[in-house]
Structure 1
């Protein structure tokens, strides 16, 4: 399993549009093959910055999602709302304390 972290920065007037689209699509994203967790975070200081965390069983599962019609539709609606280039990291989870 690995974690995909994506930093997204939006024009302030576009945030509600992003949140509405995320709310509409989040269950479908979470149900994608190999996705075991999907979370959305909002920066406390810079409130136009969001982070998505998604857990994937394999890198191929993430790639399959990224090549899906679902992702292409979500991304097309999201990328036009940005005020800065998105950043993404794929990281291996090495430890978790609950």
Structure 2
């Protein structure tokens, strides 16, 4: 399992649009084969800054999602709202304490 972390920064006037679209799409994204968790965070000091964390069984599962119509629709909408270039990382999950 690995974690995909995406950092996104939005123009403040576009944040409600982003959140509304995320609300509509989150269950679809979460139910993509291989996705085990989807979380959205907003920075406490900079409300324009958001992070998504998604857990994936395999890199192939993430790539299948990234090549899907669902991803295309989500990304085409979301990227219009950015005020900076997004950043993304893939990390191997080593330890998790609950």
What TM-score does the superposition give when structure 1 sets the normalisation length? 0.99
Report the Cα offset of residue 34 of structure 1.
0.0
Report the Cα offset of residue 36 of structure 1.
0.4
What TM-score does the superposition give when structure 2 sets the normalisation length? 0.99
Secondary structure of the corresponding residue to residue 60 of structure 2: helix
The runs of at least 4 consecutive aligned structure 1 residues that moved more than 4 Å come to none
**Corresponding position of 2:24:** 24
Secondary structure of the corresponding residue to residue 20 of structure 2: helix
Inter-partner Cα distance in structure 2 for 1:47 and 1:36? 27
* Pairs within 5 Å for 1:61-72: 61-72=61-72
Q: Which structure 1 residue ranges, 5 or more long, are not aligned?
A: none
Report the Cα offset of residue 97 of structure 1.
1.1
Q: Which structure 2 residue ranges, 5 or more long, are not aligned?
A: none
Aligned pairs, number: 98
Secondary structure of the corresponding residue to residue 20 of structure 1: helix
